[in-house]
Amino acid sequence: MMKKLFKVALTLVLAFSLAACSSPKTTGYKAGTYTAEATGMNGPVKVEVTVTTDAIEKVVVTEHSETPSISDLAISDMPVRIVDAQGLGVDTVSGATITSKAILEAVGVAMKDAGADVEALKKVTSKVQEKEEDKEYTADVVVIGAGGAGLAAAVTANQEGASVIVIEKMPKVGGNTILAGGALNAVDEGSETAIANKDSVELHYTQTYEGGDKQGDQELVRTLVTNAWDGVEWLQSLGMEFKEGTFTVLGGMWPRAHKPVEPVGTGFFNAYQNYIDSNENIDLYLEVTAKEFIVEDGKVVGVIAEGKTGNKITLHANNGVVLATGGFGQNVEMRQEYNTLWANLDESIKSTNHAGATGDGIIMAEAVGAELVQMGNIQLLPMGDPETGSLSGNIEMGVENRIFVNDEGNRFVDEGARRDVMTTALFEQPNSHMWVILDSHDYPTGDEVNNFNESINQLVKDGRAFKGDTLEELAEQIGVDPANLVKAVEGFNTHVADKSADEFGRTLYQDPIDQGPYYAGARIPTVHHTMGGVKINTDAQVISTTGDIIPGLYAAGEVTGGIHGANRLGGNALTDTVVFGRIAGASAAQAK
């Protein structure tokens, strides 16, 4: 059986067999080595291209600031694809499209310098590999999806003594979890941090339930919050490290979020990888897409899947199947079909989600009779990158120290409110566009990095953030009225001083905005989380439309519905993946 098919960090590599199916005139290049750059997700991506008179000999990415684990596959494989194809019409790497396009653009600039017909090179594509033979595997537990919930389930099932196979349709692991800021809500009752913050599991429960307009299943909410700290300790037992203390993540309502030492979601996957590399009977297959469940006598006993070359892969599960395929934030048709909360969720509204968040697992589960709940509950947040919709480039370090202003320089909402409240207010602003404003309390030197491993100095250099020694100078750079911006900051500072609620009802404060240099970053509304999905019980068993348990089928993570209600608290999604991923893995492993 294929073993250990992935490396989460810089070692994630796949083998490709690509061949050009058409070619322009490939003679007449000016032999030599050429350098060029293009803008990626986090800044410039620089390449070095070596050509002979008739061939692209070598492509190397020499410098970049892309996020580890998210961009690794593009950095390693796009140069290989270009050289093998001898052209620029090759496919981008799914889940790392922006980085892939930056590499293609930079290589195109270099090839133009070498005298190539770049437009002709863009027409050179790669033919698909020949279809591989059909395959058949058996394990105690089959997990569909290698995001946060799927790998939590896989590791737990293996710890319970089960053999495990994980399949993932994308060419890399991670799902939405690896794109997240890493904040995980959990209350360690009795700790100095919880006592100082006057936090408790009960408060976490109340805020989660009421924050979702009391639409969440109370038993599921209770399961989430009471098992959250156990999940943190479990992650630590796998080698994952968290920074000291807690903070308030956007829309989290309380300072109970734990921040991993490693950036974005990479810490989770490095911990899972280390476990998988060190243990037997747990295998992962990438670029394998689940198509349908195998059902015998009413019980789910396996999965029919398709390999990347179109071959059939049959997976038998002795004990059970865990569905962990995520939500449908990137499926515009499904968003529009189920949306009940927003005026419009068509392609004009970008998403923070990875490319594979298309709702496949929800459709599969519905086909075997699973009940879908609260599908209209789709979360937007006001923190999308104006170009991509992603969370990348968000300059905030925590809720307490920053404000939002519109294009006129005026505040317009409680910046510590629920995500739906903030997003609704943002849609009402000119251009549905805002600026995050903060100062050097969060960035004393400028070399500090945000939750996505980007330094403010680099963001300013790349034109993705702005810096001014005074508020007036900052206002001029971002095109807002200086008097309005100064008034907004002064009003905020007044309430920081006396900790009183302001005109928007804001009560979360820490430091005033009074230490230059000052910073601003642009943000727009973006689709972030689909709270609806497959109905489960507290054992993560999938429930049918008749109210019965579907034997052999379990689910965890964003593919499920009924936990978060109409609005998900910031920091609860990663908690969800760990808590219910572990429950699903254990339940499937123990089933017979």
Active site residues: 419
Cα 205-224-402 angle, rounded to 5 deg: 60
Quickly tell me which residue has 């972030």 as its tokens.
Answer: 528
Closest CA to 171 of 276, 273, 307: 307
CA distance 322 to 149: 10
Q: Which residues contact 202 (CB under 8 A, 6 or more apart)?
A: none
DSSP label at 212? Answer: T
Kindly give, in sequence order, each residue whose CB lies less than 8 Å from that of residue 44, ignoring residues fewer than 6 positions away: 37, 38, 63, 64, 65, 462
3 state SS of 426:
helix
Residue with structure tokens 């491993």? 453
Going by C-alpha positions, the residue among 217, 250, 280, 185 that lies closest to residue 401 is 250
Question: SS3 of 487, please?
Answer: helix
Q: CA–CA separation, 507 vs 413, rounded Å?
A: 12
d(CA 592, CA 590): 7
Element (H, E) at 194: helix 192-196
Instruction: Verify cis geometry, omega within 30 degrees of 0, for the bond prior to 430.
Output: no
Question: Do the bridges between strand 466-468 and strand 518-530 make them parallel or antiparallel, or are there none, so unpaired?
Answer: antiparallel
Tally Cβ neighbours within 10 Å of residue 285. Answer: 22
Q: Tell how far CA 554 is from the center of its chain.
A: 22
- Closest to 423 in 3D by CA, of 290, 523, 334, 553: 523
Contacts of residue 359, Cβ cutoff 8 Å, sequence gap at least 6: 327, 328, 331, 334, 530
Q: Which two tokens stand for residue 458?
A: 């680099």
Length of the chain (residues): 592
| Sequence-distant (≥ 6) Cβ neighbours of residue 366 within 8 angstroms | 372
- How many Cβ atoms are within 10 Å of 223's Cβ, its own excluded? 19
Residue 296: its H or E element? strand 289-296
Tokens of 285: 């297959």
Residues ≥6 apart with Cβ < 8 Å to 106: 36, 37, 38, 45, 46, 47
Sign of CA dihedral 205, 208, 210, 215: negative
Instruction: Count Cβ neighbours within 10 Å for each residue of 56-81 and write b for 16 or more, e otherwise.
Output: beebebeebbbbbbbbbbbbbbbbbb
Distance (Å, whole) CA 239 – CA 236:
5
